[in-house]
Structures are given as structure tokens and as C-alpha cells.
Amino acid sequence: MSNPSDAASSLLLGTGIGCFLITGFGLVQGRMSLETMSLGWLFPIIGVVLVLLPKFIRSESGLMAHLFPDEDDDTLSERVRSEIETTVKDGSVSSAWAELEAAVLESELSEE
């Protein structure tokens, strides 16, 4: 399994580098100019932000550290296993309520 913080960091870094590549192509083709500010300058700004975000993910107290936890494989597999168990238990409870409701409706219909 992939570590969530590593996957998010790689994705953000790759997207940031892609924004720099877009900027380079825009400058080479003449669609962007160094002399004038245009909408195209959002790409390098977004690129800088996306390249810096992985540092906030990897730090323990960072803003995005709770969204993308830095877990080892054992902790990650245990968390996923407990979430699956919780989902199965919730499904069992929902199924039991559905059966109970069906039995009550059946008994009300048989009384009429």
C-alpha cells in the first residue's frame, strides 16, 4: 500500500512541475511575455504553491498533515481494516432494522 502523504506529495510536486512546463511553453511560443502581466502568470504562481505544499504535508504539525497522514504499512492496514469492520457492522445494523420494519409492516397488514 502507498503511504497517503507520499502519494499526495508526489502528485502535488508533479502538478507543480507541470505548471512550470506550461509556463515555459507559453514563453517559448510567445503566448506569454515577461514585460506584461497576463492570466498566464497564474501557472507559475500555482506551480510555486504546489511545489511548496509537500513540505507542509510531511511536517507533523502542518496544515495538511491531518488530511494526508504519514503512516507506515502496519498502521495504514490496521486503520483500513477497522474502517471496513465499522462499515460491515453498520450494514448489519441497517439490515436488521430493515428486517424489523418489514416484520412490523407485515403484521400491520395482516391485522387489517
> Per-residue b/e over 1-26, b at no fewer than 16 CB within 10 Å?
eebebeebbeebeeebeebbebbeeb
- Name the nearest CA neighbour of 4 among 12, 90, 33: 12
Range of the domain at 77: 72-112
pLDDT band with cut points at 50, 70 and 90 for residue 75: confident
Say which residue, 14 or 77, is predicted with more confidence. Answer: 14
The pLDDT value given to residue 13: 93
Q: Examine the domain organization and report whether 56 and 88 are in the same domain.
A: no
Task: Report the domain count for the chain.
Answer: 2
Q: Is residue 29 domain-shared with residue 40, that is, in the same domain? A: yes
Long-range CB contact pairs, 32-39, < 8 A, 24+: none
**Which pLDDT value is given to residue 91?**
81
Classify residue 32 by its DSSP letter: S
Domain co-membership, 4 together with 56? yes
Domain co-membership, 55 together with 83:
no
Residues 82 and 35 reside in one and the same domain = no
DSSP state of 41: G
Based on the domain organization, do 13 and 61 belong to the same domain? yes
Could you tell me if 66 and 86 lie in one domain?
Answer: no
Is the domain of 45 the same as that of 19? yes
Instruction: Convert the pLDDT of each residue in 18-74 to its tens digit.
Output: 999 999 999 999 888 888 888 888 999 999 999 998 887 777 666 666 677 667 778
pLDDT on residue 60: 67
pLDDT score of 50: 93
What pLDDT is stored for residue 63 in this prediction? 66
Of 2-16, 20-34, 73-87, where does the model show the most confidence? 20-34
Q: Say yes or no: 43 and 95 in one domain.
A: no
State whether 62 and 80 are in the same domain.
no
